[in-house]
Structure 1
Amino acid sequence: MMLGLITMLGLVEVGYLYWAKRDTQKVADLAALAGAQQLNACTSGNGNNTAATGNATTENGFTGQLSVNCGTWNPANGSSDHFAGTTGTPNAVKVVAQRSVLPIWGMAGKLPNVSAEAVASGLQPVAVFSIGSTLVDVSGKSPLGQLLTGIGLNIPEATLVGYNGLATATVTPSGLLNQLGVSVPANLDVGGVNQLLASSVQAHALIDVLNAVVNAAGQQQLLSANATLVNAVTAAVGTAPGKVTLGSSGSTSGLFAQITAPDSSVQTALNAQVNALQLISGAVGVATGQHALKGAVAVPNILGFSISSAFSVIEPPSIGIGGVGTSASTAQVRAFINVQFSTNNIPLLGTLVSSLAKTSISLNLPIAIDLVYAKATLNSLCTENSSPYHATFGVQSSVLKMCVGGISQSSAFSTAGSCDQIPAVSGAPLLNVTVAGATVASVVNPFVITGLPANGSGTLAAGESANIPSGGTPLDIGTTVTNVFNALTTALLNQTATSTPSSISTPLATDLWNNNAGAHTGLTPNLNQLSAALTQLSGTTTGLQSFLQNTGGQVGNILGSTLTLNVPGILTGTSNLLGGVVNLLGNVLTQTGCAAGFQNSCIAAIQTAMNGGTTSLPNSLVAVLGFVVQTLQGPLNQLGSQVLTPALRDILGIKLGVSTVSLQSLQCHGVQLVY
């Protein structure tokens, strides 16, 4: 019995030794965590950390030996604890605590000292956010229904019953990956994680991703609803959805944008809170890439123009996770419009229809339009001394960027980049003007009209959304589209004006004379016909002058620096022409040869009115340009108002120039024990 009692006392002594070891480890752990929470408390040379020391000695009453060091923790460091002292900016604190253990009974002699080590790393701040084009509110639309509308899918609301419960649910990327059976090694750096997520090996069927989301969110009752949703998506796009790539690379857009963060915060990014509905709509967008919203717009008959159109989502939206520099983008939608007509369809150059000197124009305009695209970039987060913590975003958006020429419908949707990255194809001249069978102006070179910028910045707290630029810059669709097509007309006009024409004054004057034969009445029929021809020339030139004078203010921001327009030079030419026409109109009675009935004298008088221009831009060419604008401006603007505007307003429901940024979650100053 005595031996048994002595053995029990010995076991108590040994148990006490292990308790002392555990208590010392607790002190080391808590001190390291306290130090990692306040890395700014590291002393000069990164030797000590006053927060860690204070926690051990004051809060926990530790009286043993304490060693505190600030340094860098990185899985790539070769030591067993992956910690290294550094003279740079520390991201971790290492604590070594050692103490003696006094024996309780003294029967086992002096007990050994106990020691414990702990390394705690300060987690880099990480944000989760998304950006979308502001949509016109659709009455009765569920949250998921509105998100899917943003990528061009109009799914019956009955299919979306039950998903409203996910509006406030969050899922971590790590939890999603676990549900999909994807293992992320603990020592993988940021580049490795991005490569892993973007790998085609990690692409999953849409139904598997949807099921993983609802399982991770604890909403298993939606598993059957997921199957119904996939069937509805298949019916909407006309083909089975593709696989969902989880990450993004330089050439592939996936569910998550590339993570931008220090290697030490990879695990923080993988444990960030992401809205479940955003994951579902994003997964659908990736799976239906270049199919969602794909289709054509019904095109009305506009004055005999031959017009075809199509549109498609060429890049899905993405969710941004990471630190400063991380970006997320909206779904990118592109339209393709092909405009063609020739003199076989409509009278050209106003109403000139003379059989003696034919003036004609042919138009072949393949146009790719990036309707709306926006990217939000995380500029700063977790500002000190702010409660709650905030994140600041910069938004760069482009509306209605237009690429004209060198494009086919198949090539227009072949790339997800900007429309100026579309592979070039050969084709007919964009614009060709002939007078009396001779080409006087031809536009061959493709050109780009830069998109309307709508840039800005904004600051949000977790759970907030805001239109950026602040308050939004909603652009009236009708006005915006009109300005864009005015820019198109101006660009065509400018390239025409830089051409060197043949002599066209004689056939043009003949055409004007013959076109006004209806005015050949009264006591001086020839002079009446001459006045009518000059009045038509004056009216067309005045219209050209008015159009050019308004162009600078209306479309200057649209044209940007990609086009150099010779508007002042053309305006000088219109002034010269108008001066000659007005002068002759005021002195028409002096044209005795014309009054006497000599037709050639009347035509020569019209030619006289077109004299005086420069050799590079003769007045006769200015007159042709006036008729070109008169012919093109109205139909092109109708193309915008009757084709593009309904597509933006009714199909996409987009308010131009307004981007909504949502900050889903924000993790600031987090810490974790890493050893």
Structure 2
Amino acid sequence: MTATPLFAHPNGLRQRGGTAIAMMLMLIGLLGMLGLIEVGYLYWAKRDTQKVADLAALAGAQQLQLCVTAGNADNRAARGNAVTENSFSGTLTITCGTWDPIANAGITDAFSPVANGVAANAVKVIASRSVLPFFGATALPNVSTEAVASGLPPVAAFSVGTTLLSVNGAATLPQFLQSIGLNAGGTSLVGYQGLANVTITPAGLLKQLGVTVPANIGVGDLNILLAAQLQAHALIDVLNAIVTLAGQQALTSANISLINAITAQLGNIPLNVVLGSTTNSPGGLFAQIVAPDGAAQSALNAQVNALQLLNTAIGVATGQHAIQNTTNLNLGLLNINAVTSVIEPPSMGVGGVGTTAYTAQVRTFIHITTPNPASVPLLGGVINLYVNLPIAIDLVDAQAKLTGLCDTTDSTGQSQATIAVTSSILKACVGNITQANAFSTAAGCDQIPGANTPLKLLGLSAAGINLLSLNTSFATNPLPANGTGTLIAGQTAIIPGGGNPLAIGTTVNNLVTALTTALIANTGTQPPANPSTAATQTATDLWNGTNKSLSYPARAQQALDEVQTASQGLQGLLGNVTGSVLDLLGNTVQLNVPGLLGDVGSLLNSVGNTLSGVLNNLGCALGSQTACIGVISGAMSGGGAGANSNAFLGLLSFLTQALQGPLDQIGSLILTPVLQNTLGLDLGQTTVDLQSLQCHRVQLVY
């Protein structure tokens, strides 16, 4: 049997050929895998180099003060991070400059080197290195990466208030509602305290509300965008957005109860929230945002206390409706009508140095009038009193302004913010003011329409003869309470306005004294044209009002006693014109207190001398009414003429007597309760809450 050669077998040829092809394909695959490894290594080298550039740029942006200004050639922090901390041995190009996506809109990375001496806000790092191949093949290309990191200006979020009601540094919701005159005790408000330690960002709130904010929006455009969000955001939507972002979704049902409680007290008013403020349109949830870099992202990402934000939203939605206290008093000779209202809601401050936050501004309008359009009898019924006295009083107005951020640290090394507080209380304006326009402006009461227009405020007349009148308008100075505080994030501070807190009762009494004094002193510039006629009419009026069962000399004594009592009241008023009262009066009146006191003393001496000799007046003793009236008139006629006449001072004394009681009543029954019980104030002090402070922040921008 003859064997067949193997190579001649057809199947053997196929086996050898298949093996060769498989070996070839395997070799090609191995070569491809090696190539992929080289590419992957090149990619890794690129990524590693990019990481070095990113970290170096961030390190440099954190230490911008280390930038070399001569040629902007280096930054020690950036270079040290790359070389020392990340062992980078390639080539580094480090440039300090300005990152500004608006000014450098035509540049890819929005970065430009700054001129010598100009402060940089960013660091650019270019890192390049060679890449050695694994397998000794053709050299791999060098890799080069770039990174730009910007140092963000420090920002803070804060609020300012005039109430001292606080728990753990944040005003609780029930206390806040009470402070603006809303009593929502029937609703379940305890759960809201869980928001006190939660922060959210304005950017998060806007997104939750569906407000689209363009990337790299400028501060001015952001303020306009926020201020335009009036109709789109009902209070309930804002409250729900806040509690949702704070992770307290269960409070959405409580929000409905809260809205119902507010509506039950204020009526069916529109509860809308303006989100932002502009110079011409203050009163939004956020005060006008200030960001030193011109971009708004830093402010949008500030941390804001959720409970304070919720409180402020309620204050904005109920502005000019909350604290609608109305008081009506009938004091016989005079009627008093008073209304108190919020004229400007509170706002929160978010931004950099220069950002301002406002507390709620509260105003009281008081109208003191005689019971009928003409006048009411004064004393015996011959002399008539006319009073039409509109008074607008700005109870409280405070603002807090960021003046320094991250410039100082406390004893533990935590960064601080410096906040300057400017506040004023009890500015009063008297003029042609109506209730309809008293609350029309959030500016000072002297900016109310008609506040600077003279009005007939007071009048004394008899038998158609004008004895005394006052036509004028004026304003008293507010009491300033300015101070500065330095806080760390999360801290609440009570900033005194110079000296100790003011006692409410004393301060209100000083205001009432200032108002009364201003009215009397201004009346003194318009004395009666004929003092003798005024003396005769006053004496007649006093005589007619005496007890007719007494003897004529006793009746004359009774009338003179009334003159004496009224004059002593004027003397007492002038004696209370202390330095604090004069501070309130300011330039409202040019008051010569010693001179006026001397004139009143002269009147009292004249009355005293007449009293001691009235029984010796023969005509009066014999029952002559004319003689008795002459005795009274004589006591009020001495002392010269014009503004210094006893007749004028006598009329002024009776006018003071008629006014002082009602003015004291507005202090004790209206102003003090609102200040003390409703607003819960310690006058002269302001509470500032620094909710968050972000210093030395950096971000990769390219």
**Secondary structure of residue in 2 paired with 1:183:** coil
User: 2:541 is matched with which residue?
Assistant: 511
Listed as ranges, the matches of 1:156-195 within 5 Å are 156=185, 158-195=187-224
Work out which of the residue numbers 355, 379, 383 in structure 1 matches 2:407.
Answer: 383
User: 1:541 is matched with which residue?
Assistant: 567
AA partner of residue 495 (structure 1): N
Of stretches 543-552 and 569-578 in structure 1, the one that deviates more from structure 2 is 569-578
Work out which of the residue numbers 417, 426, 431 in structure 1 matches 2:443.
Answer: 417
CA contact (8 A) 1:125 1:382 kept: yes
User: 2:111 is matched with which residue?
Assistant: 83
- Quote how far apart the aligned CAs of 1:287 are: 1.8
- 2: distance between equivalents of 1:534 and 1:340? 28
Aligned pair 1:16/2:13, yes or no? no
User: 1:296 is matched with which residue?
Assistant: 326
CA 42–519 in structure 1, closer or farther in 2 if over 3 Å, else same: farther
- Quote how far apart the aligned CAs of 1:647 are: 3.1
- 2: distance between equivalents of 1:74 and 1:136? 44
- 1: distance between equivalents of 2:525 and 2:633? 22
CA contact (8 A) 2:230 2:275 kept: no
AA partner of residue 122 (structure 1): G
- 1: distance between equivalents of 2:480 and 2:320? 25
AA partner of residue 84 (structure 2): T
Of stretches 607-616 and 631-640 in structure 1, the one that deviates more from structure 2 is 607-616
Work out the number of aligned pairs and report it: 661
- Quote how far apart the aligned CAs of 1:496 are: 0.8
- 2: distance between equivalents of 1:565 and 1:435? 28
1:417-443 CA distance string (max 9 Å, x none): 222222228896211122443113222
- 2: distance between equivalents of 1:577 and 1:264? 69
AA partner of residue 36 (structure 2): L
User: 2:15 is matched with which residue?
Assistant: none
- 1: distance between equivalents of 2:420 and 2:323? 28
User: 1:99 is matched with which residue?
Assistant: 129
Listed as ranges, the matches of 1:160-559 within 5 Å are 160-200=189-229, 203-249=232-278, 250-264=280-294, 266-297=296-327, 299-341=328-370, 348=378, 352-353=379-380, 358-384=382-408, 386=410, 387-424=413-450, 429-469=456-496, 473-503=500-530, 504-516=534-546, 521=551, 526=553, 529-559=555-585
- Quote how far apart the aligned CAs of 1:451 are: 2.4
**Secondary structure of residue in 2 paired with 1:463:** coil
- 1: distance between equivalents of 2:95 and 2:150? 12
- 2: distance between equivalents of 1:411 and 1:487? 24
Larger Rg: 2
**Secondary structure of residue in 2 paired with 1:430:** strand
AA partner of residue 42 (structure 2): L
User: 2:4 is matched with which residue?
Assistant: none
User: 1:126 is matched with which residue?
Assistant: 155
CA contact (8 A) 1:258 1:320 kept: yes
Structure 2 residue ranges without an equivalent (≥5): 1-25
> Structure 2-normalised TM-score?
0.88
- 2: distance between equivalents of 1:267 and 1:50? 28
- 1: distance between equivalents of 2:286 and 2:583? 33
- Quote how far apart the aligned CAs of 1:565 are: 3.5
AA partner of residue 81 (structure 1): D
Work out which of the residue numbers 64, 73, 76 in structure 2 matches 1:39.
Answer: 64
Of stretches 79-88 and 142-151 in structure 1, the one that deviates more from structure 2 is 142-151
**Secondary structure of residue in 1 paired with 2:579:** helix
CA contact (8 A) 1:234 1:241 kept: no
**Secondary structure of residue in 1 paired with 2:572:** helix
Of stretches 84-93 and 664-673 in structure 1, the one that deviates more from structure 2 is 84-93
- 2: distance between equivalents of 1:151 and 1:31? 52
1:136-166 CA distance string (max 9 Å, x none): 689xx99221222233221135432422221
- 2: distance between equivalents of 1:324 and 1:130? 14
CA contact (8 A) 1:153 1:233 kept: yes
CA 304–536 in structure 1, closer or farther in 2 if over 3 Å, else same: closer
- 1: distance between equivalents of 2:522 and 2:586? 16
- 2: distance between equivalents of 1:162 and 1:133? 24
CA contact (8 A) 1:519 1:532 kept: no
- 2: distance between equivalents of 1:276 and 1:670? 22
- Quote how far apart the aligned CAs of 1:519 are: 9.0
CA contact (8 A) 2:329 2:335 kept: no
AA partner of residue 249 (structure 2): Q
CA 142–94 in structure 1, closer or farther in 2 if over 3 Å, else same: closer
- 1: distance between equivalents of 2:456 and 2:292? 52
- 1: distance between equivalents of 2:568 and 2:499? 38
1:378-423 CA distance string (max 9 Å, x none): 1212124541111121112222222223111111122222222222
**Secondary structure of residue in 2 paired with 1:392:** strand
- 1: distance between equivalents of 2:620 and 2:259? 79
CA contact (8 A) 2:416 2:489 kept: yes
- Quote how far apart the aligned CAs of 1:248 are: 0.8
Structure 1 residue ranges without an equivalent (≥5): none
AA partner of residue 313 (structure 1): V
Of stretches 478-487 and 602-611 in structure 1, the one that deviates more from structure 2 is 602-611
**Secondary structure of residue in 2 paired with 1:53:** helix
- 2: distance between equivalents of 1:89 and 1:51? 16
CA 31–519 in structure 1, closer or farther in 2 if over 3 Å, else same: farther
AA partner of residue 222 (structure 1): L
- 2: distance between equivalents of 1:496 and 1:649? 33
CA contact (8 A) 2:376 2:386 kept: no
1:172-218 CA distance string (max 9 Å, x none): 00111111121212221111111111114674112221121122112
Give the alignment's Cα RMSD to 1 decimal.
2.7
1:626-665 CA distance string (max 9 Å, x none): 1111111122202321233233333443443332111111
CA 219–589 in structure 1, closer or farther in 2 if over 3 Å, else same: closer
**Secondary structure of residue in 2 paired with 1:313:** strand
Of stretches 229-238 and 26-35 in structure 1, the one that deviates more from structure 2 is 229-238
